[in-house]
Amino acid sequence: MALNRAEVHNMAAGPSPLPTSVLQQAAKGLLNYNGTGMGVCELSHRGKEFKGIVEKAEADLRELLQIPDSHAVLFTQGGGTTQFSSVFLNMLAYHRLKSKDVPAEQYSPPTVDYIVTGAWSSKASAEAKRLAVPPTPNAQALANVHIAATTKPTKFNRVPRKEEYNFTNDAAYVYYCENETINGVQFAGDVDSPAAVPFDLIPNDVPIVADYSSSFISRPIPHIERHALIYAGAQKNLGPAGVVVVIVRKDLLVDTNEAALLGGVPVCPIELEYKILADNGSLYNTPPVFSIYVSQLVLRYLIEEKGGMAGVKETNEKKAKLLYAALEEAERKGLVRLTVSDREARSWMNVTWVIDEADGDEESSREKRFLKGAEAQGFRQIKGHRSVGGIRASIYNAVSLESVQELVNYIKNWAAAEKWM
Ligand SMILES: Cc1ncc(COP(=O)(O)O)c(C=O)c1O
């Protein structure tokens, strides 16, 4: 059966839905950009039209997130995963250049601190370890990867409590993932919450790096100016997969070759060096033109139609509150369990819960019934990530309050029916 877009509630975790009006506009631009008679994917990335798109995207992003002038905005490729490596290589180079006078044989490898709150920060720290410790026998480690706090023992059902953090005084950087897409756990947006990122505990001169892939432009970024680097893959709130935004403090744009020549740090592939990207206005090599174009349209749309960051935040907060309230009610009836126990650390973007934890009977399981009923009502892509199971409703910016209300109605009806089964 062929379905219309309006008939489904797409709650995918990424790639995720984009606003219909933006896609309509993008479809036109794909055929004929701005009356040039050429599609946006057929224009030189060095021409004035495409440069204009990149400049507009940057200006709108700066406006939405209040990005200070101290920070550069870069558009790059390789997904969030490539950033796991880029961050490590560039930050180590920056750290090495701060002690230029120290000869290689006297340079001790720095510590890098990771806060591990779910699958993505686990992967990022694993990549840092892989790059830090060459697999050859007796090779010297290039860095000591230290886990400053982790909630793995409690299956990532919360963020760490203040007293659990153990930061290194002179770390080359501290890394965290603001919203864990798979586990549904997010640092609180309110800086005074016990579930907020513990900015006050991180030594002042230690650079802070954050993965904002799945919560980017969903609400303001607390203490944006305190971050050395923030990155986000586009494919949740911003645009099609293929582009990654990097917001980086300008003094961190360092020549990685110069650092490597000093000894003690690895060589950085050219495409991963932030300085190269910045020096070339994100156009060092051919960029993902269509992804950048759609992202620019999305940013404009948020400013013109959605009330900017304040408006977007307000709607996202309402959506999350509505859905969590319905799930908490079902939880009180013993029908579901919210996987994140700490209410203040529940994600506004990826809402995760389980049904039937101990039910081995596939056919009769409540979860199956839930998913089948949801599918019939038009809900799509809400099965939990294969590594954790359960249900995950991703309610990114392009998922409307009305769609969330429909899901709440469905959950309530399902819960009422289940009570009698
Ligand atoms: C929070 C987060 N970080 C990193 C990644 C990895 O991104 P990519 O698949 O673009 O490499 C994802 C992917 O979903 C993510 O959700």
Share the mean pLDDT of the chain. Answer: 95
Is any ligand 1 atom within 6 A of the Cβ of residue 212?
no
Q: How far apart are CA 24 and CA 295, in angstroms?
A: 13
Pairing of strands 144-150, 111-116: parallel
What is the token pair recorded at 172? 């080359």
Burial string for 322-353 (b: 16+ CB within 10 Å, else e) reads bbbebbeebeeeebbbbbbebebbbbbbbbbb
Q: How far apart are CA 299 and CA 359, in angstroms?
A: 44
Element (H, E) at 394: strand 391-394
pLDDT digits (tens, 9 = 90+) for 360-379: 555 558 888 899 999 999 99
Pairing of strands 350-354, 144-150: unpaired
pLDDT digits (tens, 9 = 90+) for 163-222: 999 999 999 999 999 999 999 999 999 999 999 999 999 999 999 999 999 999 999 999
CATH 3.90.1150.10 in the chain is located at: 308-418
Q: Which pLDDT score, from 0 to 100, does residue 389 have? A: 84
Q: Which pLDDT score, from 0 to 100, does residue 387 have? A: 82
Share of the chain above pLDDT 90, in %: 92
Helix (H, G, I), strand (E, B) or coil at 173: strand
**pLDDT band at residue 321 under the 50/70/90 scheme:** very high
CATH of domain 48-301: 3.40.640.10
Alpha helical stretches, state H, 67-165: 79-98, 119-132
Q: CA distances (Å), 122 to each of 45, 125, 136, 228, 272, in order?
A: 36, 5, 23, 20, 21
Is any ligand 1 atom within 6 A of the Cβ of residue 211?
yes
Task: Find out whether 181 and 213 touch, Cβ atoms under 8 Å.
Answer: yes
Phi then psi dihedrals of residue 242, to 5 deg: 125, -25
Q: Which pLDDT score, from 0 to 100, does residue 135 have? A: 76
Task: Find out whether 361 and 383 touch, Cβ atoms under 8 Å.
Answer: no
pLDDT digits (tens, 9 = 90+) for 248-301: 999 999 999 999 999 999 999 999 999 999 999 999 999 999 999 999 999 999
Fold category of 308-418 in CATH: Aspartate Aminotransferase, domain 1 (3.90.1150)
Is pLDDT above 70 for 93? yes
Q: Which atom of ligand 1 is nearest to the CA of 241?
A: 10
Task: Find out whether 10 and 399 touch, Cβ atoms under 8 Å.
Answer: yes
Task: Find out whether 357 and 244 touch, Cβ atoms under 8 Å.
Answer: no
pLDDT digits (tens, 9 = 90+) for 103-160: 999 999 999 999 999 999 999 999 999 999 877 888 889 999 999 999 999 999 999 9
Burial string for 186-197 (b: 16+ CB within 10 Å, else e) reads bbbbeeeeebbb
Q: Which pLDDT score, from 0 to 100, does residue 140 have? A: 84
Question: Cα of 384 to ligand 1 centre, how many Å?
Answer: 16
Is any ligand 1 atom within 6 A of the Cβ of residue 79?
yes
Pairing of strands 111-116, 229-233: unpaired
Question: Cα of 140 to ligand 1 centre, how many Å?
Answer: 30
Beta bridge partners of 147: 114
**pLDDT band at residue 94 under the 50/70/90 scheme:** very high
Nearest Cα residue to atom 2 of ligand 1: 213
E runs forming strands in 71-212: 71-76, 111-116, 144-150, 173-177, 179-180, 185-186, 208-211
CB atoms within 10 A of CB 362: 9
Q: Which atom of ligand 1 is nearest to the CA of 177?
A: 1
Choose between 90 and 2: higher pLDDT: 90
Residue 370, Cα to own-chain centre: how many angstroms? 28
Helix (H, G, I), strand (E, B) or coil at 129: helix
